Structure 1
Amino acid sequence: MNTIAELRHDFPLLTRTVDGQPLIYLDSGATSQKPQCVIDEINDFYRKNNANVHRGLHSLSEINTFKYEQVRVKLAKYLAVSEQEIVWTSGATESINIVAAGITKSLSQGDIILISALEHHANIVPWQQAAKLSGASLQVMPIDQQGVLDLTSALDMIAQLRPKVVACTHASNTLGNINDVEAIIKAAKKADAVTVIDGAQAFLHLRPNLSHLDCDFYVGSAHKALGPTGLGFLFGKYNKLNALPIFKTGGEMIETVTFSTTTYRNAPAKFEPGTPNISGVLGFGAALDYLDKIDSDLLQAYEQALFIYCLNALQNIEGITIYGDTENNIGTISFNYRAEHHYDIATLLNSYGVALRSGHHCTQPLISELGIEGTLRVSLAFYNSHADIDAFISALKSSIELIEG
């Protein structure tokens, strides 16, 4: 395996230009880029092995079924859990919905669902629905003025309120904050609460060990971890996972069907009706193989060095306000320049080939708590370079000069 910096060459899209400018891709929080091996795996499936899984005795089907199920084993090993505890979904959003819909049926009037103020809409709205349908109440663990979770208050709320569910992001998609989910999970266990951790942003950067974290459920999306779009996973401790009611129905998930009744298979099959995203799973398998060859400590050290370099450069520009936890961060920086609208700056940056995100980042309640309309967001990954950051800072300074005339 090459050095971390050399891995950039494995990502073909990073060599393209935008309106004649070299692409500076700083939007990995929205979706990560894909190494050539992932693209090749998906291409090979459709060119050489296209056939359904679990549904045939012919060679193509048997080959694909074996490879498909081996990816489940790979992911389970990556997360330090059992393959029986891994469900394939369309993404972290569907994974949370499966859990929230299932838990709703066990909630009642007076029960409490506890989330943090940092959550993505996908970890807010399903719980709002659960509360509305069950009569439970949704309460929020607070953040401070900078946007950092108030851990002391959060732990006190868990101990005093004794919620039925504690749902929390491992790392904020908007601010990059790494939450102390281990402490939250431990407190939730003492309160006999079910823990649901949104790992969509953390998976690529932190390599979570779920046996160590000991949460009940953990979700992620392949496209944020070098894999294809339209695929995610739901981890659940097997007894908790298998106890959830079915979410969708169709073929493959059933044990027996008559016109009067149906029986269902155990997890994970009970949550996987219909023809799955075979190419997506195989592509994600290639992404996991790729990540497995990288020393995770080196990856994290490299990303942190990039983050600090970018953070320092931004802090040296007068008028920049930075939000969030800059001490415990996956490599994401949300910022604004004076009272200028984030959309205007992002548009100017795009003319220099800089791709980053502006807006509320699907965290409207968080943005409201911060008292702003939105931010510009730089979200880094290990395939970024110091040269990327230099080009971004140069483009930002030029954009500010244009704005200020």
Structure 2
Amino acid sequence: MSTSLNIAAIRHDFPILNEMVNGKQLVYFDNAATTQKPRLVLDAISGYYEHYNANIHRGIHHLAEKATSAFELSRKRLQAFLNAPSPEEVIFTYGTTDGINLVAQTYGRRFLKEGDEVIISTMEHHSNIVPWQMLCEENGCILKVIPINEEGELLMDEYEKLLTERTKLVSVVHVSNTLGTINPVKEIISKAHAAGAKVLLDGAQASSHLGIDVQDLDCDFYALSLHKIYGPTGMGILFGKRELLDAMPPYRGGGEMIKEVTFEKTTYNELPYKFEAGTPNIADVVAAKYALDYVDQLGKPAIAAYENELRKYATEAVQEIGGLRIVGQAKEKVSVLSFVIDGIHHQDIGVLLDQQGIAVRTGHHCTQPLMNRFNITGTTRASFAVYNTIDEIDLFIQGLHKVKRMLG
């Protein structure tokens, strides 16, 4: 396979790839759930705790100033990663789920009323379904759902029919975590804006594979998690257009999100701090910059091209397996491969592959309505990252043949 990347050197950057599982060297194909972390990210986390562990924004001593500087440098780095107009429009969260809930519980509560409509899609993660259901139950909004075709692509004609003068928000996944489908989000945003609606994009899966430019997309909100981009868990960001964030009430109360507190009245802080109550996840925020630096060093276009070649190779190879059916064959996809095998439960497939040292994801992938659409209970999902190889895919195919011999 032709690539400008030195895959052997990249694999050396990820210590966990040397782990042995059931006597076999780990083959990690669960990257859509979380990516592994390169050494420089691990070193950044331990380096914070070893050398400048202190709370931020509140102290004038050396450690506090060093920690604050590193923390805010990550914010600027993430601003550049998204091409956001300003660092103040980058809110630190605990992940994509937290970012979506922030919008639902602040923008949604303040600006959506009974009879207003929220549009999502059939392929949404539960994190982009449940918060809107909760909002609709609370304030009487109406939830509408964009259908998909058999290939796992949005039916855009049906989406246009769903848009009305009552549509106030469209919240859709940029890339499906289950199918790998890349949605036509620029078209979705343009049509929503023409109808007077705002748009939130769930970028959890897209952020590690695609270039993200929130100004070019013209989305109103964009949420993502750093652990999908070779960064730490428990840390994410929400981008929001300044005028919207300014108009939204705070999500949590406490330290940092205030300017002045009396028993009679509290004055809230400016952006981004009014949405960042309490001591944040400092070490992981600091380490996030190093994850993005690592991706930039390799080059996201080169990463995406290599991952796409892995997906194509695996897609062709799995078709050797009798009774195997790929779920989700959109024309535009990232490196996700979901499938079912006739007569074999997905969980059994995962267990037998694990016995061979191969980590895949099985189940509904937090997309139960999507499973219902395809009339299945779940899939086996293999998802590839830059440190994976053709040799690993060959082991995976051998493993599936073994599963088929044992259970088919």
TM-score range, shorter chain: over 0.9
Change (3 A) 1:325 1:151: farther
2:380 aligns to what SS in structure 1?
strand
Aligned counterpart in structure 1 of residue 46 of structure 2, from 33, 43, 47: 43
Q: Is the 8 Å Cα contact of residues 147 and 370 (structure 1) preserved in structure 2? A: no
Q: What corresponds to 1:351 in structure 2?
A: 355
Give aligned pairs, total.
403
Give yes or no for the alignment of 1:143 onto 2:148.
yes
Residue 335 of structure 1 aligns to which amino acid in structure 2? F
Q: What corresponds to 2:24 in structure 1?
A: 21
Q: Is the 8 Å Cα contact of residues 153 and 330 (structure 2) preserved in structure 1? A: no
Aligned counterpart in structure 1 of residue 341 of structure 2, from 327, 331, 337: 337
Q: What corresponds to 1:324 in structure 2?
A: 328
Q: What corresponds to 1:176 in structure 2?
A: 180
Q: In the TM superposition, what are the counterparts of 1:98-117 in structure 2 within 5 Å?
A: 98-102=102-106, 103-117=108-122
1:206 aligns to what SS in structure 2?
coil
Gaps of 5+ in 2: none
Please list the CA deviations of residues 165-203 of structure 1 after superposition, one character each: whole Å capped at 9, or x if unmatched.
000000001111110111000001101101000000110
* Cα distance, 1:326 vs structure 2: 4.1
CA RMSD, 1 decimal: 1.3
Please list the CA deviations of residues 70-129 of structure 1 after superposition, one character each: whole Å capped at 9, or x if unmatched.
000000011111211100011110100000111223112221100000000000000001
Distance of 2:162 and 2:109 partners within structure 1: 21
Distance of 2:5 and 2:384 partners within structure 1: 19
Aligned counterpart in structure 2 of residue 373 of structure 1, from 373, 377, 385: 377
Distance of 1:2 and 1:177 partners within structure 2: 25
2:277 aligns to what SS in structure 1?
coil
Q: What corresponds to 2:209 in structure 1?
A: 205
Residue 74 of structure 1 aligns to which amino acid in structure 2? R
Q: In the TM superposition, what are the counterparts of 1:297-308 in structure 2 within 5 Å?
A: 297-308=301-312
Residue 78 of structure 2 aligns to which amino acid in structure 1? L
Please list the CA deviations of residues 375-399 of structure 1 after superposition, one character each: whole Å capped at 9, or x if unmatched.
0001111111111111111111111
Q: Is the 8 Å Cα contact of residues 38 and 227 (structure 1) preserved in structure 2? A: yes
Give yes or no for the alignment of 1:128 onto 2:144.
no
Q: What corresponds to 2:162 in structure 1?
A: 157
Residue 232 of structure 2 aligns to which amino acid in structure 1? P
Distance of 1:133 and 1:360 partners within structure 2: 27
Distance of 2:165 and 2:303 partners within structure 1: 39
Give yes or no for the alignment of 1:240 onto 2:238.
no
Give yes or no for the alignment of 1:90 onto 2:83.
no
Distance of 1:207 and 1:294 partners within structure 2: 13
Residue 407 of structure 2 aligns to which amino acid in structure 1? I
Residue 348 of structure 1 aligns to which amino acid in structure 2? L
Give yes or no for the alignment of 1:62 onto 2:65.
yes
Q: Is the 8 Å Cα contact of residues 222 and 228 (structure 1) preserved in structure 2? A: yes
1:195 aligns to what SS in structure 2?
strand
Q: Is the 8 Å Cα contact of residues 242 and 268 (structure 1) preserved in structure 2? A: no
Q: Is the 8 Å Cα contact of residues 4 and 302 (structure 1) preserved in structure 2? A: no
* Cα distance, 1:316 vs structure 2: 2.4
Distance of 2:60 and 2:17 partners within structure 1: 41
Distance of 1:131 and 1:211 partners within structure 2: 29
Aligned counterpart in structure 2 of residue 77 of structure 1, from 77, 80, 84: 80
Q: In the TM superposition, what are the counterparts of 1:270-309 in structure 2 within 5 Å?
A: 270-309=274-313
* Cα distance, 1:17 vs structure 2: 0.8
* Cα distance, 1:145 vs structure 2: 2.5
Please list the CA deviations of residues 45-90 of structure 1 after superposition, one character each: whole Å capped at 9, or x if unmatched.
1111111111111101001101110000000011111211100011
Q: What corresponds to 1:190 in structure 2?
A: 194
Residue 236 of structure 1 aligns to which amino acid in structure 2? G
Q: What corresponds to 2:170 in structure 1?
A: 166
* Cα distance, 1:161 vs structure 2: 5.9
Normalization by structure 2: what TM-score? 0.96
